[in-house]
Amino acid sequence: MASSPEALFFDNFAISAPILQAIKQVGYETPTQIQARAIPHLLAGCDLMGQAQTGTGKTAAFAIPILNRLALARKEPQALVLVPTRELAIQVAEAFQTYARYLEDFCVLPIYGGQSMGNQLRQLKRGVHVIVGTPGRIMDHLRRKSLLLDKLATVVLDEADEMLKMGFIEDVEWILGHMPTERQTALFSATMPSSVRHIASRHLHNPHDIKIKGQTASLPTINQRYCLVSDLHKLDALTRMLEVEEYDATIIFVRTKIATEELAKKLSARGYAAAALNGDMAQAQREKVIGQLKKNALDIIVATDVAARGLDVKRISHVVNYDIPYDTGTYIHRIGRTGRAGRTGTATLFVAPRERRMLSAIKKVTGQPLYEMPLPSHQQIIDRRIEQFKQQIMGTLEREDLATFRHLLQQWIEQENLSALDVAAALTYSMQRERPLAGPPLEESAIHDKTLHKPVKKKAKKMAALKATRRSEAKSKKFHKKTVKKRKDFRHSYLNNTHHPSTP
């Protein structure tokens, strides 16, 4: 196995064909450093301790080997991934689903607090192969005996340092104590404090120790920004942005081939010159689309990462990450399609609430500020439409011979006794039906700006305060119970030991 990750492809690993097919569909060809170094050891069943930042592709580094080693015929938990938060549990479970797309009957279950216990119990009863969960809820199921780990082959501690910060280390130790001693254990962490290393020394057997240094990428010619928007509102957010922005050509990145076709059709229906670019297209069709983009016959292409690789079109002024990338390296490659040859470019990242961790990772790796972009307001959109309409009219007046139309209009005005202003207003109304110059813009009600711009830090602080309050309340209740018990015991003891004189 070559030591350089650049010399490797996923084909070099002993990975089953269905998993390789899913990996290629996602757009991965060359593994990241953590993937190149961790996957061979995990495929071999070895224990591993990996230090790597969020966004370096470590989820795939452990998910792919786990999937490759599963016995799908056995509907019982064979792998457990412990994570610090429910958002990460959902994210990791989604990654497993992505890489297992072509594995028949595969089942992964995210388990976390705040979700219906009944639903989790039903899913566990049906049988699952992989569990991704937070320590507290995993402990609940172990106590109920609704989750049995006696057949577990692999356990992964993801973001171990975060679990330490959140006070979960004792819980993790307790959970590890309920697992078979003969198992594979992998631990991943951005930092390696002594307490995390202590867990590793107690629970990992001769682990391979891998450390990936954090890297930054300088992209001074690209203005980077992000927009907090739910999946449901992405299309509306995108069309608002395209309405107001001055752009030459735009490339929009999505994760799947189907998404390229669907989004390109929706944008075309809204009046944009858009086309899809994906790996299923014949070379002739691909060249045609790129040629149209270069010749200004197209303004927008919706592409997957694989299809856009090597794309170099000078007029691309904007890159939109419609679907957030799986790792920071992919983000750098995507936005590198703009800001070339001394030109400046603009890169926009759509971030769903559960994807904020990846946003933080991207900020770190770029080493440059990413500004939060508020969505254009109703009034900004109307103002932009009016300005474009004015430019269209002025351009027509300057370029076209309008003598015939002036004569025609003059006849109508005289015959119908109309004013020139009324006729101009009626023509304006007829021309602007698709893009109204007054009133609410299309699908305005579908977007609620307040829900799209929740400050990340404030929410994080609020959640931390809420957790601290709950912990404090739990401690108070525990202390109160102990105090009440002590008082009862003391009273009982006092009554039994006190001498009462008999009544004469």
Through-space distance between the first and last CA atoms of the chain, rounded to whole angstroms: 99
Q: Nearest 10 degrees: CA dihedral of 451, 456, 459, 461?
A: -170
Computed over every residue of the chain, the mean pLDDT equals 83
The reported pLDDT for the residue numbered 379 is: 75
CA 321-443-272 angle, 5° bins: 55
d(CA 109, CA 30): 28
pLDDT, tens digit, 9 for 90 and up, residues 12-37: 899 999 999 999 888 787 898 999 99
Residue 53 clears pLDDT 60, i.e. is over it: yes
The model's pTM: 0.63
d(CA 187, CA 51): 8
d(CA 178, CA 142): 8
The reported pLDDT for the residue numbered 450 is: 44
Residue 127 clears pLDDT 80, i.e. is over it: yes
| String of DSSP letters for 223-253 | EEEEEE--GGGHHHHHHHHHHH---SEEEEE
Structure confidence at residue 253 as a pLDDT band (50, 70, 90)? very high
> Which pair of tokens denotes residue 18?
């269905």
- H helices present in 149-282, as ranges: 160-165, 169-176, 194-203, 234-244, 257-269
The reported pLDDT for the residue numbered 179 is: 92
d(CA 43, CA 62): 9
The reported pLDDT for the residue numbered 496 is: 57
Sequence-separated (6 or more) residues with CB below 8 Å from residue 290: 277, 311, 313
d(CA 173, CA 154): 16
Q: Nearest 10 degrees: CA dihedral of 151, 156, 161, 163?
A: -40
Supply the CATH classification number for the domain 222-375.
3.40.50.300
**Which is more confidently placed, 312 or 174?**
174
| Domain map (residue ranges) of the chain | 5-211, 222-375, 379-446
Q: Is 5-211 assigned to CATH 3.40.50.300? A: yes
Distance of CA 388 to the CA centre of its chain: 35
Structure confidence at residue 479 as a pLDDT band (50, 70, 90)? low
The reported pLDDT for the residue numbered 71 is: 94
Amino acid type, 178: H
The reported pLDDT for the residue numbered 78 is: 96
The reported pLDDT for the residue numbered 484 is: 53
Residue 207 clears pLDDT 70, i.e. is over it: yes
The reported pLDDT for the residue numbered 454 is: 43
**Which is more confidently placed, 213 or 156?**
156
The reported pLDDT for the residue numbered 464 is: 59
Q: Do domains 5-211 and 222-375 have the same CATH topology?
A: yes
Task: Using alpha carbons, select from 366, 370, 327, 336 the residue that is nearest to residue 251.
Answer: 336
d(CA 156, CA 79): 8
**pLDDT (average), residues 88-111:** 94
Reduce the DSSP state of residue 103 to 3 states and report it. coil
pLDDT, tens digit, 9 for 90 and up, residues 300-346: 999 998 788 768 788 999 999 999 998 888 898 899 889 876 688 99
Q: Which helix (H) or strand (E) holds 316?
A: strand 316-321
pLDDT, tens digit, 9 for 90 and up, residues 271-295: 899 999 988 888 788 889 989 999 9
Neighbour count for residue 225 (Cβ, 10 Å) = 14
